[in-house]
Copies of this chain bind each other. A is one copy, B any other.
Amino acid sequence: MSIIFSRQCEYAIQAVLYLALKPDKNMISIRELTKQLDIPYHFVAKILQDLTRKGLLVSHKGPAGGFGLGMKAKDITLLQIVEAIDGVSFMNNCVFGFPNCTDEDHCAVHDQWGKIRTKIHEMLANKNILEMAAETKKVQYHSGKQ
Contacts and interface: CB of A to CB of B under 8 A. Distances in A.
Contacts of A26: none
Contact of A87 (B2, B7, B105): B2
Interface of A: 1-7, 9-11, 13-14, 38, 78, 82, 86-90, 95-100, 105-109, 112-113, 115-116, 119-120, 123, 127, 131-132, 135-136, 139-140, 143
Contacts of A2: 3-6, 9, 82, 86-90
A20 to B, nearest CB: 11
User: Binding site of A, secondary structure by majority: helix, strand, loop or mixed?
Assistant: loop
- Identical subunits present: 2
B5 A96 contact: yes
A1 B10 contact: no
A123 B112 contact: yes
A14 B96 CA distance: 8
Contacts of A7: 97
A2, A10, A97, A115: most-surrounded residue (chain B CB, <10 A): A2
Given A97-B14, A116-B119, A109 B4 contact: no
